[in-house]
Amino acid sequence: MGKLPVYEPGKPIEEVARELGFEDESAISKLAANENALGPSPKALAAIHAAAEKMHLYPDGGAFRLRRALSSRLGVKPEQVLVTNGSNEAIVFLAGVFLGPGKGIVMADRAFVVYKLVALAAQSRTIQVPMRSFTHDLDAMLGAIKPETRIVFISNPNNPTSTMVSQDEIERFMDKVPDHVVVCFDEAYIELLEPDLQPDTIRYVREGRNVFVLRTFSKTYGLAGLRIGYAVAPEAGIALMNNIRQPFNVSAMALAAAEAALGDNAFVARTRGMVRDGIRYLEAGFKRLGLEYVPAVANFVLVRVGQGRKVFQALMKKGLIVRPMDVYGLPEYVRVTTGTVEENRRFMDALAEVVGCTTK
Protein backbone atom coordinates (compact mmCIF):
# COMPACT_ATOMS: atom_id res chain seq x y z
CA MET A 1 0.00 0.00 0.00
CA GLY A 2 1.25 3.48 -0.84
CA LYS A 3 1.78 6.16 1.74
CA LEU A 4 -1.49 7.43 3.17
CA PRO A 5 -2.04 11.20 3.46
CA VAL A 6 -1.96 12.64 6.97
CA TYR A 7 -4.61 14.92 8.46
CA GLU A 8 -3.20 18.39 9.14
CA PRO A 9 -4.65 19.76 12.38
CA GLY A 10 -4.53 23.38 13.48
CA LYS A 11 -1.09 24.37 14.71
CA PRO A 12 -0.72 24.12 18.51
CA ILE A 13 0.21 27.28 20.41
CA GLU A 14 3.35 25.60 21.78
CA GLU A 15 4.60 24.76 18.27
CA VAL A 16 4.08 28.29 17.00
CA ALA A 17 5.89 29.69 20.04
CA ARG A 18 8.90 27.44 19.36
CA GLU A 19 8.98 28.12 15.62
CA LEU A 20 8.62 31.90 15.82
CA GLY A 21 10.41 32.59 19.07
CA PHE A 22 7.52 33.79 21.21
CA GLU A 23 8.71 33.78 24.82
CA ASP A 24 5.20 34.33 26.19
CA GLU A 25 2.70 31.77 24.90
CA SER A 26 -0.15 33.90 26.25
CA ALA A 27 0.62 36.37 23.43
CA ILE A 28 -0.61 33.77 20.94
CA SER A 29 -4.29 33.21 20.15
CA LYS A 30 -5.35 29.98 18.49
CA LEU A 31 -8.35 30.58 16.24
CA ALA A 32 -7.75 27.53 14.07
CA ALA A 33 -9.41 24.49 15.63
CA ASN A 34 -12.98 25.60 16.43
CA GLU A 35 -12.36 25.24 20.16
CA ASN A 36 -14.50 26.91 22.81
CA ALA A 37 -12.92 30.25 23.75
CA LEU A 38 -14.65 30.16 27.16
CA GLY A 39 -12.61 27.12 28.14
CA PRO A 40 -14.15 24.01 29.69
CA SER A 41 -17.45 23.78 31.51
CA PRO A 42 -16.90 24.71 35.19
CA LYS A 43 -18.94 21.71 36.26
CA ALA A 44 -16.65 19.51 34.16
CA LEU A 45 -13.58 20.99 35.87
CA ALA A 46 -14.98 20.19 39.29
CA ALA A 47 -15.74 16.62 38.18
CA ILE A 48 -12.19 16.17 36.87
CA HIS A 49 -10.70 17.19 40.22
CA ALA A 50 -12.87 14.64 41.99
CA ALA A 51 -12.08 11.89 39.46
CA ALA A 52 -8.33 12.56 39.68
CA GLU A 53 -8.21 11.02 43.14
CA LYS A 54 -9.12 7.67 41.57
CA MET A 55 -6.81 7.82 38.55
CA HIS A 56 -5.03 4.65 39.74
CA LEU A 57 -8.17 2.71 38.79
CA TYR A 58 -9.25 1.78 35.26
CA PRO A 59 -12.32 3.61 33.95
CA ASP A 60 -15.71 2.04 33.41
CA GLY A 61 -15.15 0.49 29.99
CA GLY A 62 -18.89 0.43 29.32
CA ALA A 63 -19.38 4.12 30.23
CA PHE A 64 -22.54 3.14 32.10
CA ARG A 65 -23.32 6.45 33.81
CA LEU A 66 -22.63 8.64 30.76
CA ARG A 67 -24.58 6.39 28.40
CA ARG A 68 -27.51 6.44 30.81
CA ALA A 69 -27.39 10.26 31.00
CA LEU A 70 -27.20 10.56 27.22
CA SER A 71 -30.03 8.09 26.66
CA SER A 72 -32.24 10.10 29.03
CA ARG A 73 -31.33 13.38 27.31
CA LEU A 74 -31.83 12.03 23.77
CA GLY A 75 -34.79 9.72 24.25
CA VAL A 76 -33.00 6.53 23.19
CA LYS A 77 -31.96 3.33 24.94
CA PRO A 78 -28.52 3.14 26.59
CA GLU A 79 -27.81 0.25 24.21
CA GLN A 80 -28.16 2.72 21.34
CA VAL A 81 -25.26 4.86 22.59
CA LEU A 82 -21.52 4.23 22.24
CA VAL A 83 -19.04 6.53 24.01
CA THR A 84 -15.88 7.13 21.98
CA ASN A 85 -12.48 8.80 22.16
CA GLY A 86 -13.75 11.92 20.41
CA SER A 87 -16.24 11.60 17.58
CA ASN A 88 -13.28 10.87 15.29
CA GLU A 89 -12.98 7.42 16.83
CA ALA A 90 -16.57 6.74 15.83
CA ILE A 91 -15.70 7.62 12.22
CA VAL A 92 -12.85 5.10 12.36
CA PHE A 93 -15.22 2.49 13.82
CA LEU A 94 -17.69 3.07 10.98
CA ALA A 95 -14.94 2.47 8.46
CA GLY A 96 -13.83 -0.66 10.30
CA VAL A 97 -17.34 -2.10 10.35
CA PHE A 98 -18.71 -1.15 6.94
CA LEU A 99 -15.83 -0.43 4.57
CA GLY A 100 -13.23 -2.49 2.74
CA PRO A 101 -12.03 -3.27 -0.80
CA GLY A 102 -14.82 -2.96 -3.34
CA LYS A 103 -16.95 -0.72 -1.12
CA GLY A 104 -17.29 3.04 -0.99
CA ILE A 105 -18.54 6.23 0.59
CA VAL A 106 -20.29 9.36 -0.64
CA MET A 107 -19.44 12.74 0.87
CA ALA A 108 -19.48 16.41 -0.05
CA ASP A 109 -16.30 17.75 -1.64
CA ARG A 110 -15.86 20.43 1.04
CA ALA A 111 -16.74 18.25 4.04
CA PHE A 112 -14.50 16.95 6.83
CA VAL A 113 -11.47 15.46 5.07
CA VAL A 114 -11.17 12.59 7.61
CA TYR A 115 -14.05 10.77 5.89
CA LYS A 116 -11.94 10.41 2.79
CA LEU A 117 -8.85 9.42 4.80
CA VAL A 118 -10.58 6.55 6.62
CA ALA A 119 -12.07 5.30 3.36
CA LEU A 120 -8.65 5.37 1.75
CA ALA A 121 -7.15 3.46 4.68
CA ALA A 122 -9.91 0.84 4.23
CA GLN A 123 -9.12 0.61 0.48
CA SER A 124 -12.59 1.92 -0.31
CA ARG A 125 -13.71 4.32 -3.02
CA THR A 126 -14.70 7.90 -2.20
CA ILE A 127 -17.19 9.81 -4.33
CA GLN A 128 -16.98 13.53 -3.55
CA VAL A 129 -20.07 15.47 -4.59
CA PRO A 130 -19.67 19.20 -5.31
CA MET A 131 -21.38 21.46 -2.82
CA ARG A 132 -23.99 24.01 -3.83
CA SER A 133 -23.25 27.44 -2.34
CA PHE A 134 -20.81 25.83 0.11
CA THR A 135 -23.62 23.58 1.41
CA HIS A 136 -24.28 19.83 1.03
CA ASP A 137 -26.29 19.12 -2.12
CA LEU A 138 -28.32 16.18 -0.80
CA ASP A 139 -30.10 15.58 -4.11
CA ALA A 140 -26.78 15.25 -5.92
CA MET A 141 -25.46 13.01 -3.15
CA LEU A 142 -28.47 10.73 -3.60
CA GLY A 143 -27.66 10.52 -7.30
CA ALA A 144 -24.03 9.60 -6.52
CA ILE A 145 -24.94 6.49 -4.49
CA LYS A 146 -23.81 3.25 -6.16
CA PRO A 147 -24.52 -0.40 -5.37
CA GLU A 148 -21.13 -0.57 -3.61
CA THR A 149 -21.77 2.55 -1.49
CA ARG A 150 -21.89 1.68 2.18
CA ILE A 151 -21.79 5.07 3.98
CA VAL A 152 -23.03 8.55 3.15
CA PHE A 153 -21.43 11.16 5.40
CA ILE A 154 -23.41 14.35 6.10
CA SER A 155 -21.57 16.86 8.27
CA ASN A 156 -24.20 19.16 9.72
CA PRO A 157 -23.22 21.89 10.53
CA ASN A 158 -20.37 21.31 8.14
CA ASN A 159 -16.68 21.78 8.79
CA PRO A 160 -15.02 23.80 7.22
CA THR A 161 -17.84 25.79 5.57
CA SER A 162 -19.98 26.50 8.69
CA THR A 163 -23.16 25.80 6.71
CA MET A 164 -25.99 23.35 7.31
CA VAL A 165 -28.88 21.57 5.64
CA SER A 166 -32.41 21.95 6.98
CA GLN A 167 -34.82 19.45 8.50
CA ASP A 168 -36.91 19.50 5.30
CA GLU A 169 -33.87 18.73 3.13
CA ILE A 170 -32.88 15.89 5.44
CA GLU A 171 -36.39 14.43 5.38
CA ARG A 172 -36.50 14.46 1.57
CA PHE A 173 -33.12 12.74 1.50
CA MET A 174 -34.12 10.10 4.04
CA ASP A 175 -37.31 9.34 2.10
CA LYS A 176 -35.23 8.27 -0.90
CA VAL A 177 -31.94 6.86 0.44
CA PRO A 178 -31.49 3.14 -0.38
CA ASP A 179 -31.73 0.62 2.45
CA HIS A 180 -28.22 -0.76 1.84
CA VAL A 181 -26.62 2.57 2.79
CA VAL A 182 -25.63 3.73 6.26
CA VAL A 183 -26.32 7.45 6.72
CA CYS A 184 -23.91 9.13 9.11
CA PHE A 185 -24.92 12.54 10.44
CA ASP A 186 -21.78 14.08 11.91
CA GLU A 187 -23.10 16.70 14.33
CA ALA A 188 -19.99 17.89 16.13
CA TYR A 189 -21.28 21.47 16.23
CA ILE A 190 -25.02 20.90 16.65
CA GLU A 191 -25.32 22.04 20.29
CA LEU A 192 -23.95 25.46 19.33
CA LEU A 193 -27.34 26.07 17.70
CA GLU A 194 -30.43 27.01 19.66
CA PRO A 195 -32.61 23.89 20.15
CA ASP A 196 -35.30 25.04 17.70
CA LEU A 197 -32.66 25.29 14.96
CA GLN A 198 -31.28 21.77 15.47
CA PRO A 199 -32.54 19.20 12.94
CA ASP A 200 -33.88 16.07 14.63
CA THR A 201 -31.83 13.24 13.16
CA ILE A 202 -31.98 11.00 16.22
CA ARG A 203 -35.63 10.36 15.36
CA TYR A 204 -34.36 8.05 12.60
CA VAL A 205 -32.48 5.99 15.20
CA ARG A 206 -35.67 5.69 17.24
CA GLU A 207 -37.43 4.53 14.06
CA GLY A 208 -34.81 1.81 13.51
CA ARG A 209 -33.36 3.38 10.36
CA ASN A 210 -29.80 2.64 9.25
CA VAL A 211 -28.55 5.91 10.74
CA PHE A 212 -25.56 6.81 12.92
CA VAL A 213 -25.49 10.21 14.62
CA LEU A 214 -22.07 11.36 15.86
CA ARG A 215 -21.59 14.07 18.48
CA THR A 216 -18.77 15.35 20.66
CA PHE A 217 -18.06 17.19 23.90
CA SER A 218 -15.10 18.97 22.27
CA LYS A 219 -16.83 22.04 20.89
CA THR A 220 -19.86 23.27 22.83
CA TYR A 221 -18.73 21.86 26.18
CA GLY A 222 -15.04 22.85 25.88
CA LEU A 223 -13.58 19.37 26.43
CA ALA A 224 -11.47 19.04 23.27
CA GLY A 225 -8.36 18.09 25.24
CA LEU A 226 -10.11 15.16 26.91
CA ARG A 227 -11.17 13.52 23.61
CA ILE A 228 -14.69 12.30 24.29
CA GLY A 229 -17.65 11.93 21.97
CA TYR A 230 -20.39 9.44 21.21
CA ALA A 231 -22.43 7.70 18.54
CA VAL A 232 -26.19 7.12 18.59
CA ALA A 233 -27.43 4.29 16.37
CA PRO A 234 -29.65 1.20 16.31
CA GLU A 235 -28.59 -1.43 18.83
CA ALA A 236 -27.25 -3.74 16.12
CA GLY A 237 -25.02 -0.98 14.77
CA ILE A 238 -23.69 -0.10 18.21
CA ALA A 239 -22.95 -3.79 18.82
CA LEU A 240 -20.90 -3.95 15.60
CA MET A 241 -18.85 -0.93 16.66
CA ASN A 242 -18.34 -2.40 20.12
CA ASN A 243 -16.85 -5.49 18.47
CA ILE A 244 -13.86 -3.46 17.30
CA ARG A 245 -13.68 -0.98 20.17
CA GLN A 246 -10.65 -1.35 22.39
CA PRO A 247 -11.32 -1.75 26.14
CA PHE A 248 -11.04 1.43 28.20
CA ASN A 249 -11.08 3.63 25.10
CA VAL A 250 -12.15 6.68 27.15
CA SER A 251 -10.44 7.87 30.34
CA ALA A 252 -12.16 8.08 33.74
CA MET A 253 -11.66 11.84 33.90
CA ALA A 254 -13.18 12.29 30.43
CA LEU A 255 -16.22 10.25 31.45
CA ALA A 256 -16.71 12.27 34.64
CA ALA A 257 -16.22 15.60 32.89
CA ALA A 258 -18.64 14.75 30.07
CA GLU A 259 -21.39 13.65 32.45
CA ALA A 260 -21.04 16.86 34.46
CA ALA A 261 -20.85 19.07 31.36
CA LEU A 262 -24.00 17.52 29.95
CA GLY A 263 -25.93 19.12 32.80
CA ASP A 264 -24.25 22.52 32.59
CA ASN A 265 -27.02 24.35 30.75
CA ALA A 266 -25.83 27.77 31.89
CA PHE A 267 -22.43 27.19 30.30
CA VAL A 268 -24.03 26.09 27.04
CA ALA A 269 -26.13 29.25 26.99
CA ARG A 270 -23.03 31.39 27.57
CA THR A 271 -21.22 29.57 24.78
CA ARG A 272 -24.06 30.14 22.33
CA GLY A 273 -24.16 33.82 23.20
CA MET A 274 -20.39 34.20 22.77
CA VAL A 275 -20.49 32.46 19.39
CA ARG A 276 -23.45 34.50 18.16
CA ASP A 277 -21.83 37.81 19.10
CA GLY A 278 -18.41 36.77 17.82
CA ILE A 279 -19.67 35.65 14.43
CA ARG A 280 -21.61 38.90 14.00
CA TYR A 281 -18.47 40.88 14.80
CA LEU A 282 -16.26 38.91 12.41
CA GLU A 283 -18.74 39.03 9.54
CA ALA A 284 -19.23 42.77 9.99
CA GLY A 285 -15.44 43.18 9.89
CA PHE A 286 -15.15 41.17 6.69
CA LYS A 287 -17.80 43.39 5.10
CA ARG A 288 -15.83 46.51 6.05
CA LEU A 289 -12.71 45.02 4.47
CA GLY A 290 -14.61 44.04 1.33
CA LEU A 291 -13.85 40.33 1.83
CA GLU A 292 -16.16 37.57 0.68
CA TYR A 293 -17.19 35.10 3.36
CA VAL A 294 -19.60 32.22 3.83
CA PRO A 295 -22.37 33.15 6.32
CA ALA A 296 -21.71 30.99 9.38
CA VAL A 297 -24.00 28.91 11.58
CA ALA A 298 -21.29 27.42 13.82
CA ASN A 299 -18.36 28.96 15.73
CA PHE A 300 -16.11 29.53 12.70
CA VAL A 301 -16.19 31.42 9.41
CA LEU A 302 -14.72 30.68 6.00
CA VAL A 303 -13.36 33.92 4.49
CA ARG A 304 -11.73 34.61 1.13
CA VAL A 305 -8.48 36.49 1.68
CA GLY A 306 -6.61 35.94 -1.60
CA GLN A 307 -3.48 33.93 -0.88
CA GLY A 308 -4.70 31.86 2.03
CA ARG A 309 -1.42 30.19 2.98
CA LYS A 310 0.44 33.50 2.81
CA VAL A 311 -2.14 35.24 4.99
CA PHE A 312 -2.01 32.32 7.44
CA GLN A 313 1.77 32.69 7.76
CA ALA A 314 1.59 36.46 8.17
CA LEU A 315 -1.08 36.26 10.87
CA MET A 316 0.89 33.58 12.69
CA LYS A 317 3.86 35.95 12.96
CA LYS A 318 1.50 38.32 14.76
CA GLY A 319 0.52 35.62 17.23
CA LEU A 320 -2.78 34.66 15.58
CA ILE A 321 -3.27 31.09 14.37
CA VAL A 322 -5.99 30.52 11.77
CA ARG A 323 -6.51 27.60 9.39
CA PRO A 324 -5.43 27.67 5.73
CA MET A 325 -7.91 25.88 3.47
CA ASP A 326 -5.77 24.63 0.58
CA VAL A 327 -6.17 21.05 1.86
CA TYR A 328 -9.87 21.45 1.02
CA GLY A 329 -9.14 22.82 -2.44
CA LEU A 330 -9.80 26.39 -1.30
CA PRO A 331 -6.36 28.06 -1.50
CA GLU A 332 -7.84 31.57 -1.42
CA TYR A 333 -9.58 31.01 1.91
CA VAL A 334 -8.77 30.73 5.60
CA ARG A 335 -11.05 29.49 8.36
CA VAL A 336 -11.18 31.46 11.59
CA THR A 337 -12.76 30.40 14.88
CA THR A 338 -14.56 33.01 16.94
CA GLY A 339 -12.64 33.77 20.12
CA THR A 340 -13.01 36.11 23.06
CA VAL A 341 -13.96 39.73 22.44
CA GLU A 342 -10.29 40.75 22.70
CA GLU A 343 -9.10 37.92 20.43
CA ASN A 344 -11.66 38.83 17.77
CA ARG A 345 -10.58 42.47 17.89
CA ARG A 346 -6.89 41.55 17.61
CA PHE A 347 -7.64 39.28 14.69
CA MET A 348 -9.61 41.88 12.74
CA ASP A 349 -6.95 44.54 13.29
CA ALA A 350 -4.21 42.14 12.15
CA LEU A 351 -6.21 40.87 9.18
CA ALA A 352 -6.83 44.40 7.94
CA GLU A 353 -3.08 45.04 8.01
CA VAL A 354 -2.12 41.68 6.48
CA VAL A 355 -4.69 41.75 3.68
CA GLY A 356 -3.69 45.32 2.84
CA CYS A 357 -0.05 44.21 2.47
CA THR A 358 -0.71 40.99 0.53
CA THR A 359 -2.98 42.65 -2.02
CA LYS A 360 -0.59 45.50 -2.89
Reported as a single tens digit per residue, the pLDDT across 307-360 is 999 999 999 999 999 999 998 999 999 999 999 999 999 999 999 999 976 544
Question: What is the residue extent of each domain of the chain?
Answer: 13-39+266-358, 42-262
Tens digits of per-residue pLDDT, 149-174? 999 999 999 999 999 999 999 999 99
Q: What local confidence, expressed as pLDDT, does residue 9 receive?
A: 66
Any residues with CB less than 8 A from the CB of 186 and at least 6 apart, and which? 87, 91, 112, 153, 154, 155, 156, 214
In DSSP terms, 135 is beta-bridged to 132
Tens digits of per-residue pLDDT, 195-212? 999 999 999 999 999 999
Q: What is the 3-state secondary structure (H, E, C) of 48-94?
A: HHHHHCCCCCCCCCCCHHHHHHHHHHHCCCHHHEEEECHHHHHHHHH
Tens digits of per-residue pLDDT, 22-31? 767 777 899 9
Any residues with CB less than 8 A from the CB of 323 and at least 6 apart, and which? 10, 32, 33, 160, 312, 334, 335, 336
Question: What is the topology classification, in CATH, of domain 13-39+266-358?
Answer: Aspartate Aminotransferase, domain 1 (3.90.1150)
Q: What local confidence, expressed as pLDDT, does residue 27 receive?
A: 77
pTM: 0.94
Other Cβ atoms within 10 Å of 287 Cβ, number:
11
Q: What local confidence, expressed as pLDDT, does residue 356 receive?
A: 76
Tens digits of per-residue pLDDT, 271-308? 999 999 999 999 999 999 999 999 999 999 999 999 99
Q: What local confidence, expressed as pLDDT, does residue 100 receive?
A: 97
- Fold match, 13-39+266-358 / 42-262: no
Does the structure show a pLDDT above 90 at 73? yes
Where is 348: in which H helix or E strand?
A: helix 341-358
Nearest in space to 126 (alpha carbons), one of 114, 139, 140:
114
pLDDT category at 15 given cuts 50, 70, 90 is: confident
Q: How far apart are CA 316 and CA 339, in angstroms?
A: 15
In CATH terms, 42-262 corresponds, of 2.40.30.20, 3.10.620.30, 3.40.640.10, 3.40.430.10, to 3.40.640.10
State the greatest distance between any 2 C-alpha atoms of the chain, in Å, as a whole number: 60
pLDDT category at 1 given cuts 50, 70, 90 is: very low
Q: How far apart are the first and last CA of the chain?
A: 46
